[in-house]
């Protein structure tokens, strides 16, 4: 496997062959390729930190790589940004963070005093994706590159890919389910006879899932700069206890401990097999957190993510 030193201007760790395969695929379409590969994109969530990832997706789209993937996995805000990317709306998905989401209409902790969610998923689904930055839901449903939405079963905190997303209402419900956190962002969402909460609770990065599903190459988009990642595959005891009481809160509280990149960086990892994995993240911190509402800093995070992906592509183009 071709492990290379870090690229200047990008947080890029793992096997650079993943990006080389994507670049070689430019101009091809799913189902009409000559290579033997199956390439998956894994988009991590993280609330407003998803601004970094939205910027990366915009850059990948401009680089002509949207159709180069065979499938996409997304959780929480990563699922929403992935939906924009797959439907040709990566530009709107990136712009939505500073223009529509970095505002009290979306995040306002004062609402907790009135027993309302601090994070308004109604604003995201209906006002933003249904109005100011409209998502073409039918195009998402019919996309030749499928989006696998990861959510967490509220009963036992196990992660799953939501199935049975066949209508526009199903897709709206699926994206809501992947981002729901009781008290903070609304109650669990019912779908297919189960109750679901934020996908990042059970599976922040679905890289191992993509490998088990048959992917030979996986590009993982990370919504934290390397300085804010502390490898740990398990939550602390207190965070797990909080998640059991209120699904999602413990995961949110522990934050950086949930982004374990050892699967990506260790070719001998027991869950790795013959797969090729590459992680792309922001080259530096923009000073934002999961609930940031400063539009200037959020816009900077989008720009940092965009520039990081541009640098990664340029290094191998």
> What is the pLDDT tens value at each position of the chain, 317 positions in all?
333 444 456 788 999 999 999 999 999 999 889 999 999 999 988 899 999 999 999 999 999 999 999 999 999 999 999 999 999 999 999 999 999 999 999 999 999 899 999 999 999 999 999 999 999 999 999 999 999 999 999 998 899 999 999 999 999 999 999 999 888 899 999 999 999 999 988 888 999 999 999 999 999 999 988 887 765 555 566 566 666 666 655 665 555 445 678 788 887 888 888 889 999 999 999 999 999 999 999 999 999 999 999 999 998 87
Looking at residue 6, its pLDDT comes to 44
H/E element holding 197? strand 194-197
Q: Is 200 a catalytic residue?
A: no
The catalytic position among 17, 70, 76, 243 is: 76
Q: Beta partners for 159?
A: 152
The catalytic position among 61, 198, 243, 260 is: 198
Looking at residue 236, its pLDDT comes to 61
Q: How many CB atoms lie within 10 A of CB 308?
A: 26
Every domain of the chain and the residues it spans? 16-315
Looking at residue 250, its pLDDT comes to 63
Q: Is 198 a catalytic residue?
A: yes
Q: CA–CA separation, 284 vs 225, rounded Å?
A: 5
Looking at residue 2, its pLDDT comes to 36
Q: Are 74 and 81 in contact (CB under 8 A)?
A: yes
Q: CA–CA separation, 49 vs 305, rounded Å?
A: 10
Q: Report H helices in 25-181.
A: 50-62, 77-86, 90-96, 121-122, 137-141, 168-177
H/E element holding 74? strand 71-75
Looking at residue 263, its pLDDT comes to 83
Q: For domain 16-315, give the CATH superfamily.
A: Cytosolic phospholipase A2 catalytic domain (3.40.1090.10)
Q: CA–CA separation, 125 vs 152, rounded Å?
A: 19
């Amino acid at each position: 496997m071709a492990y290379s030193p870090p690229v200047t201007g990008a947080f890029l760790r793992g096997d650079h062959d993943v990006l080389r395969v994507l670049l070689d695929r430019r101009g091809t379409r799913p189902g009409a390729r000559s290579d033997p590969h199956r390439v998956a994109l894994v988009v991590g969530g993280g609330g407003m930190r998803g601004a970094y990832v939205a910027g990366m997706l915009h850059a990948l789209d401009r680089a002509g790589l949207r159709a180069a993937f065979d499938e996409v996995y997304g959780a929480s805000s990563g699922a929403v940004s992935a939906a924009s990317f797959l439907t040709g709306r990566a530009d709107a998905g990136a712009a939505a963070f500073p223009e529509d989401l970095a505002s009290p209409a979306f995040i306002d902790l004062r609402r907790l005093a009135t027993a309302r969610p601090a994070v308004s998923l109604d604003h995201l689904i209906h006002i933003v994706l249904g109005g100011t930055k409209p998502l073409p839901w039918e195009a998402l449903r019919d996309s030749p590159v499928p989006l696998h939405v990861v959510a967490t079963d509220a009963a036992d905190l196990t992660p799953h890919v939501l199935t049975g997303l066949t209508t526009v209402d199903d897709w709206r419900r699926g994206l809501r389910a992947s981002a729901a956190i009781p008290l903070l962002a609304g109650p669990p969402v019912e779908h297919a006879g189960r109750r679901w909460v934020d996908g990042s609770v059970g599976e922040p990065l679905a890289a191992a899932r993509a490998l088990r599903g048959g992917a030979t190459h996986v590009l993982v988009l990370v919504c934290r700069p390397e300085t804010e990642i502390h490898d740990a595959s398990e939550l602390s005891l207190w965070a797990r206890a909080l998640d059991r009481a209120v699904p999602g809160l413990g995961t949110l509280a522990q934050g950086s401990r949930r982004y374990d990149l050892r699967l990506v960086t260790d070719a001998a990892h027991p869950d790795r097999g013959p797969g090729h994995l590459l992680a792309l993240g922001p080259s530096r911190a923009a000073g934002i957190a999961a609930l940031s509402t400063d539009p200037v800093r959020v816009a900077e995070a989008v720009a940092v993510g965009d520039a990081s992906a541009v640098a990664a592509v340029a290094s191998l183009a």
